[in-house]
Amino acid sequence: MTPPSAIRRVGVLTGGGDCPGLNAVIRAVTKTAIRMHGIEVIGIEDGFLGLIENRTRPLTFKDVSGILTRGGTVLGSHNKANPSRYCVGHDGHGQPIFRDVTERCIDTCVRNRLDAIIVIGGDGTMACAAPLVRAGVNIIGVPKTIDNDLVGTEITFGFLTAVATATDALDRLHSTADSHHRVMVCEVMGRNAGWIALHSGVASGSDVILLPEIAFDLDVVSDYIRSRMRSGPGFAIVVVAEGAKPAGGHQIIARHDPTSPDPVRLGGIGHLVAQEIEKRTGAETRTTVLGHIQRGGPPIAADRILGTNFGYYALETLMKGGVGRMVVRENNLFTDVDLLFAAGKQRLVPPNHPLIEAARGIGTSFGDHVSSGSRGESAAVVV
């Protein structure tokens, strides 16, 4: 392993899906490396695909100037290129053929004289990086995902912008729901975690919040909506995470992509909930699916700051001798954890999370049989 004093060239890549704040991290990594340590920075294009195909380019001060406010990633990204299980084609029956191309990634590191790589991504990206770490490549991870579901860190950059976007959409749905006396169901992203739904639901004053972590009862939801429509304001807002499921039911899968490291594509629960509400209550109900709107656009100020901090600490962790680490924020302090510990795991919303208790206290329904405002036995546990 290259000692910190001998590090001369560092690669940086953005894995998985795009996310607000990626450019803030790239900018911080590049400027910190050049200005503070005299290290060359090599951008690896389109995530691990660029590492597999040896597609790289130098990053200079000029290359990262003015990108702080931009959404997406100037390096490009790719969410299907897993080095240990890379699709190289299809057989005669149309089934994907996978190969382990880890050695090709190592060869790219050697050819570009990379002493380490800053890998920016979520749990899937860290899982893809794990075999490279085990093979001797020094990788420093930076936690990115709008889902906020990466183990080891209390927050990931991109999440706060996604919440702001979802909250703005829900605010707009409020006014049209009120005008037409309708129920508006809004499906948000998050995969198996309900962080976006929980935070945007509370921030927007949504009446019902349905999370993957709390199985919901459609009868409970419908009774709540019926009561609100008859004796309340005459409209209702329901925010549902894409991974939410009714009690005794399953998540709704929109499609499978066998060539992807994460082949399941969730989607459709919003339409199901809306149909059931209208059928059971008679209230006119509409569905909005925000989809990739939550991933796009410029990062809000908080994510620009968070991304800058993460990028800086990634370089500092490397230069202090960090090997196979992921920078994290815990208790509002920046530190690092073993990357292999975080790889391939998901951080879910605890059912007794303080924000859930606060929402129940003001009368928000989570579609379960816990009365709004009552505290369960586990409520005293703070996570």
User: Domain locations in the chain?
Assistant: 4-157+299-342, 160-296+350-380
The helix-helix angle for 22-37 and 301-319 (nearest 10°) equals: 40
Distance CA 97, CA 197 (A): 37
DSSP lists the bridge partners of residue 348 as: none
- So what's the pLDDT on residue 378? 34
Band of the pLDDT at 382, cuts 50, 70, 90? very low
Region 160-296+350-380: CATH code? 3.40.50.460
Residue 96 burial (C-beta neighbours within 10 Å; 0-12, 13-18, 19+): middle
Say whether pLDDT at 13 is over 80.
yes
State yes or no: pLDDT of 332 exceeds 50. yes
C-beta separation of 29 from 40 below 8 A: no
Reply yes or no on whether the pLDDT at 272 is more than 90: yes
Q: Is the pLDDT of residue 84 over 70?
A: yes
Residue 36, SS3 per DSSP: helix
Would you give the end-to-end CA distance of the chain in angstroms? Answer: 37
Range with lowest mean pLDDT among 207-216, 242-251, 262-271, 374-383:
374-383
Confidence of residue 373 (pLDDT cuts 50, 70, 90): very low
Query: 4-157+299-342 has which CATH code?
Result: 3.40.50.450
pLDDT at 377 > cutoff 60: no
φ, ψ of residue 182 to 5 degrees: the values are -115, 170
Q: Over 90: is that where the pLDDT of 347 sits?
A: yes
Active site residues: 147
pLDDT at 1: 65
> Which of the residue ranges 297-306, 326-335, 339-348 would you say has the lowest mean pLDDT?
339-348
pLDDT tier, 252 (very low <50, low <70, confident <90, very high otherwise): confident
